[in-house]
Each structure stands twice: as structure tokens, then as C-alpha cells.
Chains A and B, each alone.
Chain A
Amino acid sequence: MILDALFLQLGYNATLVTIGAMLLGMAAGVGGTFLFLRKRALVSDAISHATLPGVGLAFMVMVALGGEGRNLIGLLAGAAVSAGVGLLIVNWLSTRTRLAEDAAIGAVLSVFFGFGIVLLTVIQSMNAGRQAGLEGFLLGSTAGMLRSDALIIAVSAAFTLVLVMLLRRPLTLASFDPEYAAASGQNVVRTDLAMMGLVLAVTVVGLKIVGLILIVALLIIPPVTARFWTERTDHVVLISGAVGGTAAYVGASISAALPDMPTGPIIVLVGFALFLISLLLAPKRGVLAAYLGHRRFQRRVHLRQGLLALAQGQPIYERLTLRLLRRAGWARRDGVATAEGRGRAGRALLDETRWQLIRRDPSFEAAAAHYDGLTPIERVLTPDQIAEIDARIPAPKEVTT
């Protein structure tokens, strides 16, 4: 059943939802990246909660004008306006008053959301409101999604992607080094507004599928996940889009295949699974890689220290050092070096002596910067340079084998 869903074999409506969700996921992942890099991820939570009063008011206005209250474009337009007002209030509070941004976010989020809930309750009591299904905007509801709805989502997602493509340089600069950006004539305030506009667009479009409470997860989880895999801004953007698209596609498929599974929450859980995999398994920044890297480094340090101790005839007290030396076949159980161990110890000492010489000599400053106690000096100096260093070793250390 889930496989059918993944291959879009569950009929017209489910296919529509799945593709719409995937586009939304990509747009959210890409749009959320700069929010994350700018360290303003939580602003999106204020934006999303601030949509609710707009939805309620738009419904009331449309009904009052004698129209169909459930018109999606009308509802989303209302959501966009009230989210925009919420965003401007957060900005105003955090730049013009003594309130910090987190406090401003908390205030706007709760007040707008509370007002929205009041409006929804009022709508429930209206004649036209009973079947409005506006509470679907809280957690998303894909039942009865129309072709036109999917089209709106697709167009907005494409628009978001193009905008990020256009603005990637100013966005990168404003996220990394806003002062430098301002000094080179960039209007950072306007860049920030454009970024927030992007997020606002994604949020409003995502209301139908994911709902306002969970949309923040689609904006934050993908970039955080992508960050584990790369050290480049442009790659974070691309991977984040892919993660968001995948999570939404798989999540929407699962919820279409299994009865009574809510789309938005499942999408978020799939995204979280991708995050967890990255957290644990990413090649450089992952937890496992960090642990293994630390262990490997620790072994190399112990071996090096052990060899230096052997070369200088010092006893070895650390059990880990001795065990590693023995396992390498460089020392015996009682801590005495083997023939191979003596040779390696002599070379280690010579290497260390050379390093200490160049670290004291300013003319080798660039090379000496590579010193970490482990890298052989042959890797940073030419044989000629090493010969020059060796000439300075006072009494050549003869390695007796």
C-alpha cells in the first residue's frame, strides 16, 4: 500500500496531495536555510501563528460579502496579511524597543494565536461557519484538496525557488557577515525583509497541507539536517531542498496509504527521521564520526607519546599507551622497545626535534602552523629544507639500533 503511494498509484487525489506536498517541502527547505543561517529560525513560528486571525477574518469578510467563505485564495490572502502584520510587529518590537527578539516572538505568537482561536470559535457559532473546516489550518488537512489548490502550491513553491536563486548572494552575505554586507552598500534590512517574505510565502502556502503549528518544522529541520553533510552554503541550500522535498513526499505517501494518518505530522516525523540519520551517521559532523575521529586521534597521540618516551628512555606509565605499543609490535610487555620500536622511536624523536626547530624560526612560520604533534615534517617541508634544518641540530641524535 505504501509502495503504491510512493509510486503515485493511489488515485488522482492522493497523487495531487503528494506532489503538492513535495513542492512545498522543497520550497520550505530552501527558504528555511537562510533563516537558519541568519539564526532567526524562531521568527517563522511567530509568522505561522500570526496567520490564524487572518484566516478567520478573511472567512468572515467573504461570508459577509455574500461569497463562498472557503475560497482558498481568499483565506490565504487573509493569512498572508495578518502574518505580515505579525512579522512587522516582531521586527518593530525587537529593533525599536528594549524587548529582545525572543520575547517579541513569544508575545506576537501567543496574542495572534489566541485572537485567531477566538475568531474560529465565533465562526463555529455562525450559520455559514459550521462546515467551514477552518480548524484544518491548525494541523493541516489534505482531505478534499482540489486541483486548483495543488496548482497554487506548485506555483508558489516555484516562485520561492526562483527568488532564492536570485537573492542567494545577498542572503549569504547578510547571514554570514551583515556588517561587511552593509559596508559594501547592501541594504541588509531589505535583504532580511525579502528573506522573511520568502518564509511568509512558504508558511501561508503550507497552511493547507501541514498546518500552522507544524510548518516551522518544515522550515527548520531540512537546513539543520543538511548542515551535517556539507561545509558550503550553496550545498546546504540544495541538500535542504532535497531533504524537505523527500520528507514531504514520503510523509504524504504514508499518510495517503494508511487510513486516518494526518499528513502534516507524518511529514514532520519523516523529516525528523532524516535528521536523526544525519545526526548519527554524517561523515564529518555526525556523532558517530566525531566519536571515531576522537578515538583515532587519541590512539595516534598515545602512540606518538609512547615512541618519544621510548626514544628518550623514559618509562611508560599509561596502560593505553603500552597496550597500543604492544599491539603495534613496537614494545614488549615490560615496556622495553622492540627492534622495530627503537627504529620508529628514533625517527619520531628526530621528527619532533625538527618540528621544534622550525617552530622557533619565524622564516618557517607558514610550515610551522601545520604542527599538531602528529604530522610528519616530510609532509610540509621539501627534502632541501629538511637538510637545512638538520644542519642546525646541535649534536646529531644518533639512533642506536
Chain B
Amino acid sequence: MTLQLATKDGSDAGTEVGRDAPLQIKGMTVSYGQKPAVFSVDMTVPAGAMTAIIGPNGAGKSTLLKAALGILKPLAGQTLVFGRTLAESRDRIAYVPQRASVDWDFPTRVIDVVLMGLYPKLGLLGRVRASHRAAATACLSRVGMEDFATRQIGQLSGGQQQRVFLARALAQDADLYLLDEPFAGVDAATEKAIIAVLKALRDAGKTVVAVHHDLSTVPEYFDRVFLINTRKVAEGPVEEAFTIENLQAAYGGRLATAQVDQLNGTLG
């Protein structure tokens, strides 16, 4: 089903970027009870770009991501990753969940969390060797956390916890990175460190998609935006799709005039 209601860019999924796009979502509908949180959403993410999924609270940003990954069971819809089904491409996807979604008093150390990123390679019984530890430590240094390897995860600050989650995703050595609110509740230094890592990934040809809530940093951090409010509102490069009209279409009255003025400044 391809409902092209209210999509403001005219780009047609499938022709512009080809069938082997890193992430292609078709007709995704998810509902909690009888109320759809995401309704018939199509999304196409081209390779080697950083895409922000933005929209007001409760617009279905995280839900879209979770349904695309099969964490939630959608009512309808399909995900293709590099032109293949989800099951065929799990080893090419790295997911960074919301930090608040886990119990940080869990008995595990920083290095153990990063090693979880290697579980698919280790299999059920493969021994954790020195080379695996070295790989995990290298991922920790990429996010500036190598000094914390043997700390219990509960002793970390929110920003440090987020970096450990990112390090675990790095350990997977994937091609498509999907992050759910990676900047929520983290300090400014962490935000900078994370964005540097993500940009390095993009420059290495990887694809990054992040649920994002801070409109003022969108043009600085991302190449593309995907605006959603239960339905898709717009999708495209920041210069084209991140416009006041699209934002107002997505946020409705919730976008305060002050924010609009500020964004006018950001957008030039």
C-alpha cells in the first residue's frame, strides 16, 4: 500500500535511490490498541547520509524505528535493508536503544556491555578471546570511555552510559546505524563526542539514522530529515525538507513562535 497523502517532497521511493537503499520502509502501520501511532509510513534512507527523524512528542518516531527493526510487531508494513529482508541483514544493522530503556543496576561492567555487540560473532559458546577484548576496548576509546572498562555500568553518568551504548553498536561493525534519541539527557561534551563518531561513520560510507528532538541542531548535525506526525510529513535533504512550512505541518500549533523565529535564524 502506498498512500502518498500529504508528502510534501515529491521524491518517489525506489526510483531516486534504487532498490538497495540501506533502509527502506514501506506502508508501516503500528497501533497501540485501536489508535495508530504510525500510519502507512514510507521511508527511504540513502547510503552514506545522516538522517534525523523528527516530529512532536508522541508522533511515532521511536515506534517507527522499533517497528522497522521488528522490536514491535507492526499491523502492516515491510522493511528492506540493503534490498533484503530484515532477517537476512541483521548483521548489517546496529541499534542503539534509548538509554532509559534498561536497568542500569544490572550486574554487568562497561566492557561486558560492549562485548554484547560481538555476541552474533561469538555464537552461543565461542570463547571471548583477547582479540575480542581488544576490539571492544578500541570501540570504547572511540567514544572516550576506555578508562571505564571495568566499572559497573550503574556508576556512569547519563552521558557516559549513552557512549557505552554507542560503543556496543560500533563493536557490531555494521553498515546501518539506527539510534533512538541518542542525545536525550546527555551533557554537551557527550553530545559533541557522539556526533563526531557518527560523522566519522558517515564519512566512512556508513548510514546513520537517529530519532532527534532538538530542532536547533538539525542543520548542523544531519544531512537529511524525515518529518513524521503519525503520518509522514516530509522527507529529504535538510535544505529542501527542513522548512518552516514542513515543521508547522508536523508540529501544528505546538511549534511556538519563538522557536519559529529561532529556526528562521538557523535556516538563514
List residues of A whose CB falls within 8 A of some B CB.
37, 39, 165-167, 169-170, 172-173, 175-177, 179-180, 182-185, 227, 230-233, 235-236, 362, 365-366, 369
With A184-B120, A369-B157 already in contact, the answer to whether A230 and B97 are too (CB < 8 A) is no
B87 adjacent to A185 (CB under 8 Å): yes
B119 adjacent to A169 (CB under 8 Å): yes
B152 adjacent to A183 (CB under 8 Å): no
B69 adjacent to A182 (CB under 8 Å): yes
Query: Please, which residue of chain B has its CB at the minimum distance from the CB of A231?
Result: B152
Total of A-B residue pairs, C-beta within 8 Å: 78
* A369 contact set on B, CB distance < 8 A: 157, 160
Distance A173 CA – B113 CA, assembled complex (angstroms): 9
A183 adjacent to B71 (CB under 8 Å): yes
B112 adjacent to A167 (CB under 8 Å): no
Closest-CB distance, A278 to chain B (whole angstroms)? 14
* A179 contact set on B, CB distance < 8 A: 66, 71, 95, 97, 101
- Beyond the given pairs A183-B71, A233-B108, 9 more chain A to chain B contacts, judged by CB atoms under 8 angstroms and listed by A's residue number, are A39-B103, A166-B124, A169-B119, A176-B103, A179-B66, A180-B97, A182-B70, A182-B71, A365-B189
28 contacts between A and B (CB under 8 A): A37-B106, A166-B125, A169-B119, A172-B108, A172-B116, A176-B103, A177-B101, A177-B116, A179-B101, A180-B97, A180-B116, A180-B168, A182-B69, A183-B93, A183-B97, A183-B178, A231-B108, A231-B109, A232-B107, A232-B108, A233-B107, A233-B108, A233-B112, A235-B107, A236-B107, A362-B192, A366-B144, A369-B157
Distance A67 CA – B160 CA, assembled complex (angstroms): 65
* B144 contact set on A, CB distance < 8 A: 366
User: Residue B102 at the A interface, CB < 8 A?
Assistant: yes
Closest-CB distance, A250 to chain B (whole angstroms)? 25
Distance A191 CA – B119 CA, assembled complex (angstroms): 15
* B90 contact set on A, CB distance < 8 A: 184-185
B107 adjacent to A180 (CB under 8 Å): no
Closest-CB distance, A20 to chain B (whole angstroms)? 29
A173 adjacent to B102 (CB under 8 Å): no
* B168 contact set on A, CB distance < 8 A: 180
B107 adjacent to A169 (CB under 8 Å): no
* A185 contact set on B, CB distance < 8 A: 86-87, 90, 120
With A180-B97, A184-B90 already in contact, the answer to whether A169 and B106 are too (CB < 8 A) is no
Query: Please, which residue of chain B has its CB at the minimum distance from the CB of A180?
Result: B97
B109 adjacent to A169 (CB under 8 Å): no
With A167-B124, A177-B102 already in contact, the answer to whether A230 and B71 are too (CB < 8 A) is no
List residues of B whose CB falls within 8 A of some A CB.
66, 69-71, 86-87, 90, 93, 95, 97, 101-103, 106-109, 112-113, 116, 119-120, 122, 124-125, 144, 147, 152, 157, 160, 168, 172, 178, 189, 192
Instruction: Select the residue from B107, B120, B125 with max chain A CB neighbours within 10 A.
Output: B107
A176: which of B87, B106, B124 is its contact (CB, 8 Å)? B106
* B107 contact set on A, CB distance < 8 A: 37, 227, 230-233, 235-236
Closest-CB distance, A236 to chain B (whole angstroms)? 5
B119: which of A173, A175, A182, A183 is its contact (CB, 8 Å)? A173
B97: which of A37, A39, A172, A177 is its contact (CB, 8 Å)? A177
A183: which of B70, B102, B103, B112 is its contact (CB, 8 Å)? B70
Distance A365 CA – B196 CA, assembled complex (angstroms): 15
Closest-CB distance, B244 to chain A (whole angstroms)? 32
Distance A223 CA – B219 CA, assembled complex (angstroms): 49
A175 adjacent to B124 (CB under 8 Å): no
A176 adjacent to B152 (CB under 8 Å): no
Closest-CB distance, A191 to chain B (whole angstroms)? 12
* A235 contact set on B, CB distance < 8 A: 107
A232 adjacent to B109 (CB under 8 Å): yes
Query: Please, which residue of chain A has its CB at the minimum distance from the CB of B98?
Result: A179
Closest-CB distance, A168 to chain B (whole angstroms)? 8
Distance A185 CA – B70 CA, assembled complex (angstroms): 8
Distance A235 CA – B122 CA, assembled complex (angstroms): 19
A173 adjacent to B116 (CB under 8 Å): yes
Query: Please, which residue of chain A has its CB at the minimum distance from the CB of B96?
Result: A180
Distance A180 CA – B86 CA, assembled complex (angstroms): 14
